[in-house]
Amino acid sequence: MIHLVAMRDDLTEFQHVHPQPTGTPGEFAVDITFAKPGRYVLNSDLRRRGAMSDIVFRQYVTVQGTAESIPLVEDRSAKVIDGVRVELDGVAHVGGPSELEFHFTDAQTGAPMTDLKPYLSAAGHLIVASQGLYTIDHGHGEAFDASGSELWAMPGASLGPDISFHHRFGAPGLYKLWGQFQTASGQIITANARSPPRWRRSQAWLR
């Protein structure tokens, strides 16, 4: 599978899509609708069968028109997305792996959500982009049961209320994170945060 992330260079627009085979060997295609004019990066990653590392390809496109560039600022507030309250806890730092944990509750009742479903063979997906798009990384989440045993993202599995990611921040600065998860109804929710790698038990961001 090819993962293609399209984002505006000020990180205000984001799409995670999956090009499909056209029938011609080695050729894939996807339709993308850009919401605003501006300069976009198209960042693709794929893995050849049997390979141990991903192939990453980056290309820039310009969508004609005039649109204001919005400065990137920190935003650590919890957000409600289609009835799901999402919070992010974690200590982000440079020089080692940072553990980031998404926590999910029902926005109306406050009850922990334990019926999330695997999304594209993972507990969740995380895209991390640095301000200025110097780095773009794609990672997969992990889920654990009450005893601490890992829950595998198999079809039919139920996950939550916490999904964790490990990420290595290469340098200080401001980063934007997008987490993508699937609810029991099959709906994909996308949560985003903006923060530098120096959190101290922070609760984050999303829109």
How does pLDDT run across 35-83, given as a tens digit for each residue?
999 999 999 998 888 887 888 999 999 999 988 888 888 887 898 999 9
The pTM of the whole model exceeds 0.75: yes
pLDDT score of 105: 97
Strand-strand pairing, 55-63 and 79-81: unpaired
Residue 110: left (phi > 0), alpha (psi -120 to 50), or beta? left
Query: How many CA atoms, within 13 angstroms, populate the side-chain half-sphere of residue 4?
Result: 16
pLDDT score of 205: 35
Q: What is the mean pLDDT of residues 101-118?
A: 96
Q: What is the dihedral of CA 137, 177, 16, 50, to 10 degrees?
A: 30
> Domains along the chain?
3-63 (no CATH), 79-195 (2.60.40.1930)
